[in-house]
Amino acid sequence: MISCSMKRMEDKIVTFSKFGDTGKGGITRLSLSPAALEARDEFCKRCKALGMEIKTDDMANIYATLPGDGDLPAIMMGSHLDSVIQGGNYDGVMGVLTALEAAETIVTEKLKHRHPITVVVWTNEEGARFEPAMMSSGVITGKFNKEAMLASKDVDGITFKEALEASGYMGEIENRMNPNDYMALVELHVEQGPVLEAEKKDIGIVEGVVGMINYEFTCAGQADHAGSTPMKFRKDALFAATKVIGYLHEEFDKLDSKLVYTTGRITASPNIHTVIPEVVKFTLDARHQDPEVIKQVVEIIKKIPTEIEKCQVSFKELWSRKTIAFYEEYVDFVEKNADLYGYSSMRLYSGPGHDAQYISDIIPSTMIFLPSENGHSHCEKEFTPLENCWKGANVLLQTILDIDRK
């Protein structure tokens, strides 16, 4: 049975960790930044050395393809090269490097395949420089309006369009996903959570991506002097906000234990230590694979009183997504191949979003997860052992070959 090269896998990881190196074990490689362009250049250099044909589309997505035997739809694998600020060396990039290693194994071992095999690099998956996340896969699948995305600005006022045009990777083709062109996408990714490691599993068989909601709450009170306003006269918006958050936690904990929820952003105005907060806004992110549980979450939100602690309370949905299930036959291929190599595995759903969830609406797709040490991700402590990366590359390779034979 053919396996990928662990030595080559290590070389890829070490080489790409230099692009945006923070000096503290991680990287800052924001989309289309100089560091990201260096990583792209290295990726293309390696693909060309394997005899792959390289194309880019109008969103700077890269498609490096090994030709097949006939005029057949291509099989895609890959992920993204950009990172968050002070991120790690495995999120996204591991999906690209294992795909590159699988392609290199096909070439060096002269493995026959009928379909073209494409390694894809999606642009601006993280959304750390230009919002929103998964921008380019969203545009090519019709989730986002292209003109609106081109107008997105980074903190320096540079638009995504300007960065695209300056990158050298902006192609002319409008590559909108067409099921006649592609028959599959397999995206490998690190788990970004603690489950696989805790369960001592080598491979995560990803059945889908959980649904989620994101709401913003506003508590409006009255700004007054912190020293001269008696407690019984106060309309403290921050105190009201704590009551709302406490209520949500108490009620959500009565639901399914797999529900996860987060208050990730909170702002207080006027945000002065001698002034009672007048307006407080905070967000709620809630995720679960069962739509009925998400429905229960919304029902709980709608029961919040309009007045708490003499403050007006309101809320609005910012955005949401439905649970998506990956293509069952390809999910089964991943499980079969983990067993074939003797790797331990388990089925699970992804909590974070990935490009594959957008692509899966048009092209049959699935994902492979690798364990994240201590569950760390989006930080410099992010780490997946080399052996696990190699195992993932092996499962990815065999899954691609299975799809090709199909």
Residue 178 has a pLDDT of: 87
Please compute the mean of the pLDDT values over residues 102-131 and round it to a whole number: 97
Fold agreement between 6-210+323-405 and 211-321:
no
Residue 375 has a pLDDT of: 95
Residue 138 confidence (pLDDT) above 80: yes
Please compute the mean of the pLDDT values over residues 359-378 and round it to a whole number: 96
CA-to-CA distance for 134 and 63, rounded, in angstroms? 17
Q: Which residue, 199, 193, 210, is CA-closest to 369?
A: 193
Residue 175 confidence (pLDDT) above 80: no
> pLDDT tens across 263-292, in order?
999 999 999 999 999 999 999 999 999 999
Please compute the mean of the pLDDT values over residues 326-343 and round it to a whole number: 98
| Extents of the domains making up the chain | 6-210+323-405, 211-321
Local confidence band at 176 (pLDDT 50, 70, 90 cut-offs): confident
Out of 3.40.50.720, 3.40.630.10, 2.40.30.10, 3.30.360.10, select the CATH number for domain 6-210+323-405.
3.40.630.10
Please compute the mean of the pLDDT values over residues 113-126 and round it to a whole number: 97
Residue 359 confidence (pLDDT) above 90: yes
Mean of the per-residue pLDDT values for the chain? Answer: 96
CA-to-CA distance for 118 and 100, rounded, in angstroms? 9
Residue 218 confidence (pLDDT) above 80: yes
pTM comes to 0.91
Residue 185 confidence (pLDDT) above 80: yes
> pLDDT tens across 99-114, in order?
999 999 999 999 999 9
Please compute the mean of the pLDDT values over residues 179-185 and round it to a whole number: 94
> pLDDT tens across 222-256, in order?
999 999 999 999 999 999 999 999 999 999 999 99
Full 3-state SS string of the chain: CCCCCHHHHHHHHHHHCCCCECCCCCECCCCCCHHHHHHHHHHHHHHHHCCCEEEEECCCCEEEEECCCCCCCEEEEEEECCCCCCECCCCCHHHHHHHHHHHHHHHHCCCCCCCCEEEEEECCCCCCCCCCCCHHHHHHCCCCCHHHHHCCECCCCCEHHHHHHHHCCCCCECCCCCCCCEEEEEEEEECCCCHHHHCCCCEEEEEEECEEEEEEEEEECCCCECCCCCHHHCCCHHHHHHHHHHHHHHHHCCCCCCCEEECCCEEEECCCCCECCCEEEEEEEEEECCHHHHHHHHHHHHCCCCEECCEEEEEEEEEEECCEECCHHHHHHHHHHHHHHCCCEEEEEECCCCHHHHHCCCCCEEEEEECCHHHCCCCCCCCCCHHHHHHHHHHHHHHHHHHHHC
Query: Angle, to 10 degrees, between the axis of helix 328-341 and the axis of helix 386-405?
Result: 130
Is the domain defined by 211-321 classed in CATH 3.30.70.360? yes
Local confidence band at 123 (pLDDT 50, 70, 90 cut-offs): very high
